[in-house]
Amino acid sequence: MLETLKKQITAITENTAVSTDSRLQDICDLLKENIDYYDWVGFYFKNGDKPELKLGPYAGAETDHTIIPFGKGICGQVAVSNKNFVVADVAAQDNYIACSITVKAEIVVPLFINGENIGQIDIDSNTPNPFTEQDERFLEFVNAEVAKIL
């Protein structure tokens, strides 16, 4: 299934007739609709020169977390570490910002352009410990495709 999704992601990013934000939204929708345990899918981007992330396109429940300071929560930590962060159980994380009481796990993968961390893809899951190394590699692929259109 991931190979099929990869082809669909590439088709979305290569569709230059559609705005970048629309393509990012299409990617969020595609992932949320096709991977059972991806309950919230969104992009956060560096907010200009400020040490914070700003919410971009997303699919899933509305969130109050439209701005996240670097270092705060899982997303803010990835903005500083530049490394993937897989959280099997959000309740076990001290520096976790709860978006919903239903969220059990989270994965955040940084998005790089020319070696600079400019944002990330963030996935919340209502399923305990669902993320595997396969998810990490897949989301790295998604971000590499997205980087081509930013």
| pLDDT digit string, tens, across residues 92-145 | 887 777 667 899 999 999 999 999 999 999 999 999 999 999 999 999 999 999
Q: What is the extent of the structural domain holding 106?
A: 2-147
The CATH number of whichever domain residue 105 belongs to comes to 3.30.450.40
pLDDT confidence of residue 54: 98
pTM across the whole model: 0.96
Q: Nearest CA to 64 among 81, 42, 48, 46? A: 42
Q: What is the pLDDT of residues 50-65, one digit of tens each?
A: 999 999 999 999 999 9
Nearest to 28 by CA among 3, 4, 56, 53: 56
Mean pLDDT lowest among 19-28, 37-46, 89-98, 128-137: 89-98
Please state the φ and ψ torsions of residue 80, each to the nearest 5 degrees.
-90, -45
- Tell me how many domains the chain contains: 1
